[in-house]
Amino acid sequence: MEYFRSEIFPDTEPPDEKKTRRILRELVETIVLSLILFVGINAVSARIRVESISMQKTLYAGYLVVVNKLAYAMGEPSRGDIIVFYPPDPSEEPFIKRVIGLPGEEVRVDDGIVYINGAALEEPYIKASPEYSGTWNVPMDSLFVLGDNRNSSFDSHSWGMVSLSKVIGKAEFVYWPPSAWKLLNTAAASAGNP
């Protein structure tokens, strides 16, 4: 069939023009595919740069982290999750902290220990025990978050709760620098029975 067609409608386009048109078409297809991938990836994830010391010893300034924006689309945050959220002051960059108190819980910090509903929290990830104290009740639409570097973190003990509506997503892994590659949220906090 192709032979018959080429005999009736001979290809009169010069080979150079045909090659140029094929290259341009492939270039446009590549650009369109790249844009689709870029938009798709940004719809489900974000990349953030850690800018402070508040999450040491887990995250250090300069680390680049991938955030799963769909993590809580069908589920709820868990204690120990590292989340990224919009801070109380909307002019600031998003914050990254660890979920400590869940909706409806009481968080108490006393003598360097965090208690959830009266049960001591085991926290293998913190840099040092908190040198502050207080008691906070977490509203049903909010989370209580703390930095792992408890005494150098501007977090819920300073300014209050994070509304669930302000959560951008769950930090999943460090991808830069290569020497620090690791999955996050593997060292979960746990509270014993009171």
List 91, 97, 152, 165, catalytic entry: 97
Q: Which of 51-75 are b and which e, b meaning 16 or more Cβ less than 10 Å from the residue's Cβ?
A: ebbbbbebbeeebebbbbbebbeee
User: Tokens 């025990």 appear where?
Assistant: 129
Cross-strand partners of 101: 144
In this structure, the number of other CB atoms found within 10 A of the CB of residue 36 comes to 10
- pLDDT tens per residue, range 33-86: 888 777 766 667 788 899 999 999 999 999 999 999 999 988 899 999 999 999
In this structure, the number of other CB atoms found within 10 A of the CB of residue 110 comes to 13
- pLDDT tens per residue, range 149-166: 999 999 999 999 999 999
List 6, 18, 34, 54, catalytic entry: 54
Domains of the chain listed by start with CATH number: 2-43 (no CATH), 50-191 (2.10.109.10)
Give the end-to-end CA distance of the chain in Å, rounded to a whole number: 82
- pLDDT tens per residue, range 3-44: 555 555 555 667 778 888 888 888 888 888 888 777 766 667
The two structure tokens encoding residue 60:
């250090």
**pLDDT of 76:** 92
pTM > 0.85: yes or no: no
**pLDDT of 1:** 47
Confirm whether 97 is a catalytic residue: yes
Give the burial class of 169: count Cβ atoms within 10 A of its Cβ; 0-12 exposed, 13-18 middle, 19 or more buried: buried
Q: Residue range 161-172: average pLDDT?
A: 95
Q: Which of 77, 9, 59, 55 is nearest to 153 (CA)?
A: 55
